[in-house]
Structure 1
Amino acid sequence: MTTPTTASAATSPSRRPSRTPHVVVLDYGSGNLRSAERALQRVGADVEVTADGRAALEADGLVVPGVGAFAACAAGLRSVHGERLIEQRLAGGRPVLGICVGMQVLFERGVEFGEEAAGAGQWPGTVEKLQADVLPHMGWNTVSAPADSVLFAGMDADTRFYFVHSFGVRRWEQQTPEHFRPACVTWAHHGEDFVAAVENGPLSATQFHPEKSGDAGAALLTNWLGVLR
């Protein structure tokens, strides 16, 4: 399959951080761990796949992947104290990136097939079934990113990413106090609008799979590595 158009500088050495960042892909029993590892290595990261809490805390960046059911991923995350690890990293301003269900479990709760499960609660909101004629939403799709997005910097409006999901966040519910910078929320459309990505201080996440999105995903991961200080 031909990868859709994206920024030509996806893997340009000039776009990479001057220091090789160390990234941990959190292994909690869910997610395309090796695909994420290879995608991050492609854009210049030193990558470790592990469930070790100390390694997750000390890394420059932490990636939380996820595939499958919300409840199973949330339980797996709790089994390795992932919620606490995420909270500790964010308290110190250390970047975290959630992917697919790894993004979904950052919200308060998920409702799938009548089963409700608690998420990590970093953001208010509910993950629920999309209102679309065709599910799952599987394949390439464009996104609508705000002008101040860091993740999507340098990308054209027709850049496409690879999605595989039937559930998502249909409403953004976080209220931003006055004088605080609001989260940068990116949207996509499949039957209805849904949250495709969020950038909120050191916490970022994508509903799509950057590790399966070819050059487009490489460009996004390159941009994320750029914030790892």
Structure 2
Amino acid sequence: MKPSAVLRLFSLPLAAAIVAPALRGTDAETLLRAVAARYASATDYSLRVRTNSSASSSDFTLAASLPHQSMLRQKSRTNGRFELLLTADATAAWGYQPHRKLYTKSGPERGEERTELARVHHQYFGRFQHLDRLATDAKVVGHGSVRSGGRAVLCIRVRIESAGESGAEELWIDPARHLVLKAVARLKRPMPETGDIVTTTVWYECDLDHPADPSLFTFQPPPGTRRTNTLEYR
């Protein structure tokens, strides 16, 4: 057996042995409160996220400098042509779809660009600000490793159920930084025999400590594009 294979063989049980005592002493509710406080205190963040489900797969890049600046770039891995860019500040919001060569612009009022920005940022950041209150039941179920920020991060896995939801979600939380780095959500279908919809989300970049690049919140329509009233958001 190669030395590298021997190292891998023994490294997994060793990691489990190191983490097990910490897991036994981990209280899910305390951990969720720490996560909520971490996200609620962030004023600037940059995220790179990938979602996969039986229906679709997409990559997201998100950044914000609260309260007024936010951006989103979405690229579908299912439909390689779909790409969307949204950016907003206190005075204007822009939308752009490169494959259609179309863009939109609205003012400081709440238009469709700001609505979509708010929806996606809530899904991948904002909801964790209230995680301790939204979860009606939480339980530590194990640990696992997530590759984020270019390295493997050992996480605590917490299974939660939320009020008003029709399924459960398992969050993989970095206990050192109180960041959610992976989520596995199971949504029950109206017809149980068709099986659950399982969506896996990984935050392979999650920075809540540094200001985002200011250029992310500006947009200049490229040559050859034209303005329209609405864009595709799904």
Judge same fold: TM > 0.5, yes or no: no
More strand by share: 2
Q: TM class by shorter-chain length?
A: under 0.3
Provide the TM-score with structure 2 as the length reference.
Answer: 0.26
